[in-house]
Structure 1
Amino acid sequence: MCSMESIASIQGAGPLILDGGLATELEAQGFELQGDPLWSSRLLHTNPQAIQDAHYRFLVSGADVVSTATYQASINGFMKHLDMSSESAQELMMSGVHLAQEAVQQFVTSNNDTERGRPLVAGSVGAFGAFLQDGSEYSGAYAENMSIEELKAWHRPQIGCLVSAGADLVAMETIPSVKEAVALMELLREFPSSRAWLSFSCKDGRSLCDGSPFLEAVRMAQRSSQLVAVGVNCCSPALVLPLLETISQLRSPALPWVVYPNSGEEWDRLSGWKASGTKVSSIAALSQEWMKQGATMIGGCCRVGPNHITELRKRLLIKFQ
């Protein structure tokens, strides 16, 4: 399991660079993922080498952390859509960590980069809404009809598998509601040696997708001793700075911010990604401002590829030379 000390050692004097959109990179290689109830996690079953290769490309491009292909994965989902037993589904979930670990080992063996520490593997855990495949991870509406215990019961098998497989961190991401975040924080205590980051899904520069103030959500998350960072992902890059400004009063060296927005394009559940109509500055161009606000873990989400991570790393390393 990863510790704050190991993160500090890999960061050195600079930020920790996260990867980009794994599904985006897989689609760039010709895989059809849109509309699949398992999204990129189906390839854990049908083409695991493609997953490992995509992780490797992000590592070569400059990522210090790669996230597993398990965002939209679940034991129930694998059993339903792949017609497999619970035991096989658990093994498939754990394979997401193993493939990322193999990519890290391949990178370490093939690249004599003494300035970078060994990259980390983050086990990706998406919101319950991702399983529903109806875009509700961007609304959080489902949480209104679920209890904390029901949400914990849903997430427990996935987190258990990722931890058992040896993920350095758990990435609890695109969380749209405070209730689900509370459930995840409580569940994390069942794995006391594990560390995680928590990133929210936000609809504007002040609020989570369920309408809760981002400030209050972050304040709640800061009560956990197992988090290494808290922040936001899969929003427009233009929203990151306003969101960080709303939590400036909570800034603490003990719990930095994690930010990894998407490209700024808008997602339509029926037609896919489309231009937002507003030109959005690149993640690399905005990243130094985010660092000034306390972000030390920075990367990209949907529609962000390896070339963007290369640009991001180059921009941030210039600052520290």
Structure 2
Amino acid sequence: MEFDSPLILDGGLATELERSFGKDLSGRLWSAQCLNQDPDAIRAVHQLYYEAGANVATTASYQASIQGFLNEGYSRNDAVRLMRKSVQLAHEARNAHGQGLVALSMGCYGAVLANGAEYTGNYGVHITIDDLVTFHRERLSICLQEPGIDFILFETIPSYLEAQAIRKLIQEEKELQLPPVAVSFSCRSNDQISDGTPLQKCLDTLADEDIIFGIGVNCTKPKFIPALLNILLGNKNNKKAILLYPDGGEEWDAIARSWNSETKIPTDVFGQSMAGWAKEIENRTGQKVLLGGCCGCGPSHISCIRNALSSSS
């Protein structure tokens, strides 16, 4: 996939729906609710991120799956309609903005379970690679019926089993001429993804798949990024672009049952850090880079990234 580096991704969709539109996203499948009841809000959030300086709108399909919608009382026809609607809304926002890319968000299997597994990668002993292949294949077959998708983004992947499933799916679907693919892992430490697997092992699993143009980390604390970046830059296949879109730094206080705002990274510091990491990548390997934000990051974070990159050039 050809693009000018650095490419700026958007920030958290749910974060901005809550902040700017007052959405209550505490339900198990909040994206279905918003896609069904207030698609204009989703389109508006995409537009806010474009206006803030993002080059990419990421579709509101992170949680979307047929079974997930059925579990929430939607019909199969409604599920298909809403999954395709997520792509349509991003495409409409891009057209209104006049330029930009659309990334198809394929969230992890744990996001659909809505039981916390997306943060641990613990999918249970009965889930197999083939189960996960079938899960992602069905979602792709629906969403890819819509035009205007520039690349597929498997994101917040917490499980090595799921990394293997993504590889198998790509190998089995080569005849479908999939759009370019990027894969981003959620990490719990300086060197492990959320289920405890070394990040390096995941990189090695996907390194030889040419359709994967980018690989990296997201939904990860910024404090872990420097060490994780060293692993990404030392990967044997340095032809792939690097994705970095951490969260805003807030940490969950299990005792108080609330987010600890003291760990939140100021937006200007967030932007400067991202620009600094982009410069490090350029100086060390020259790989292309995609930068953005995840949970807790809004348009102000994206503006700060854009401004910091401009100041450092």
Same fold (TM over 0.5): yes
Structure 2 residue 277 is matched with structure 1 residue 284: no
Unaligned runs of 5+ in 2: 282-286
Q: Distance in 2 between matches of 1:273 and 1:156?
A: 36
Q: Quick check: 1:75–1:158 contact (8 Å CA) kept in 2?
A: yes
Match among 91, 110, 123 for residue 142 of structure 1: 123
Number of residue-to-residue matches in the alignment: 301
Shift of 1:273: 5.4
Structure 2 residue 196 is matched with structure 1 residue 215: no
Match among 91, 105, 113 for residue 81 of structure 2: 91
Q: Quick check: 2:222–2:247 contact (8 Å CA) kept in 1?
A: yes
Match among 233, 240, 244 for residue 255 of structure 1: 240
Amino acid corresponding to residue 19 of structure 1 in structure 2 = D
**Once structures 1 and 2 are overlaid, which stretch shifts more, 97-106 or 185-194?**
185-194
Amino acid corresponding to residue 176 of structure 1 in structure 2 = P
Amino acid corresponding to residue 70 of structure 1 in structure 2 = S
Q: Quick check: 2:14–2:25 contact (8 Å CA) kept in 1?
A: no
Amino acid corresponding to residue 169 of structure 2 in structure 1 = L
Match among 187, 194, 213 for residue 179 of structure 2: 194
Provide the secondary structure at the position in 2 that maps to 1:198. Answer: strand
Please report the RMSD computed on the Cα atoms of aligned residues, expressed in angstroms. 2.1
Q: Distance in 1 between matches of 2:36 and 2:253?
A: 27
Instruction: Name the TM-score, length of structure 1 as normaliser.
Output: 0.87
Residues 108-165 of structure 1: CA distance to partner in whole angstroms, max 9, x if unpaired? 1xxxxxxxxx311111111111111111111111154311101111111211222221
Instruction: Name the TM-score, length of structure 2 as normaliser.
Output: 0.90
Shift of 1:77: 1.6
Q: Quick check: 1:143–1:177 contact (8 Å CA) kept in 2?
A: no
1:114-129 counterparts in 2 under 5 A? 118-129=99-110
Unaligned runs of 5+ in 1: 109-117
Change beyond 3 A, Cα 1:155–1:205:
same
Name 2:210's counterpart in structure 1: 225
Q: Distance in 2 between matches of 1:269 and 1:164?
A: 42
Q: Distance in 1 between matches of 2:256 and 2:36?
A: 26
Name 2:310's counterpart in structure 1: 317
**Once structures 1 and 2 are overlaid, which stretch shifts more, 264-273 or 310-319?**
264-273
Identity among equivalent pairs (%): 35
Q: Quick check: 1:19–1:58 contact (8 Å CA) kept in 2?
A: yes
Shift of 1:295: 6.0
Q: Distance in 1 between matches of 2:228 and 2:22?
A: 34
**Once structures 1 and 2 are overlaid, which stretch shifts more, 32-41 or 61-70?**
32-41
Amino acid corresponding to residue 20 of structure 2 in structure 1 = Q
